[in-house]
Amino acid sequence: MDKVRQGYMFYPKDWNFSASVQKLNLEQEAVYRKLIDKVMTEGQGIVYDSAYFKYYLKANANKVERIFKVLLEANVIEIEDNIITVPSCNVRLARSEAGSKGGKARAKKVADAKKEADLLEAKSQAKEIKENKTKQKETIVEEVSNYDWFIECWNKYLIEHTNAKEEGLTFLTKAQKDSISKLLNDGLEIDDIKKGIVGLMVQKLFPNNQNLRYPNHLLKNDGEFVQKYAIAFNTNNRELYGKVKRFE
């Protein structure tokens, strides 16, 4: 470890707006702060000793393990060969070290440390973005893999809001499924489409006196009518239903 330091500057604004810190609850955030304090006063290279951290953090072994797991997943600490490092401290530690040497050596270390910190932050953000995109894609694939919700909703409100005596929709064509899948991929949610179905059914009659057995009209034009009927549903404005009809 480095020589003992008396203290360091703390910037609450930077802390509160840190994307990494915002992932933590108050307890996890407090442990992270304690680790920063320890690194900034003693230097990087803390040995991960569960017995010591039980005493230091005043917590049992299971809680210590859970908290460190969260800190690792949030990328605010690293543990390698049982040695803890806190990447966010690197810049300040480098500045402190550079301050005692001055000149070009100081400037270079600060620049290198900042570059390293920026690289770590960029990697963390890129990883988070990739994980979020993967989760969104998985969610969409799961939602559109079964279209029973569309058929059930269509038939339920067909009977409830029109003169139909029985269910009219028994299956969806590939083109209709593709249209629904595209709507979801473009940002609409299943609830939006359901509201669009209800908004259409409340009119009682399809444009041009067509019956309501098939959803081709609702799904055409890349979801234009789904959104208009959903707006009519959300406002519960009967006059708006008539205006929607004129849009067509």
**Residue 139: pLDDT band by 50, 70, 90 thresholds?**
low
For domain 12-135, the CATH class is mainly alpha
Q: What is the pLDDT of residues 11-52, one digit of tens each?
A: 787 788 888 888 889 888 888 888 888 888 888 888 888 888
Bigger pLDDT: 192 or 6?
A: 192
Q: Could you tell me which of 91, 137, 134 has the C-alpha nearest to residue 116?
A: 91
**φ/ψ bin of 187: left (φ > 0), alpha (ψ from -120 to 50), beta (otherwise):** left
Region 212-238: what's the mean pLDDT? 74
Placement of tokens 């049992």 in the chain: 60
With vertex at residue 24, the alpha carbon angle to CA 18 and CA 27, rounded to the nearest 5 degrees, is 125
Query: Any idea where the domains of the chain sit in the sequence?
Result: 12-135, 146-247
Put the strands of the sheet holding 83-85 in their side by side order.
46-47, 83-85, 78-80
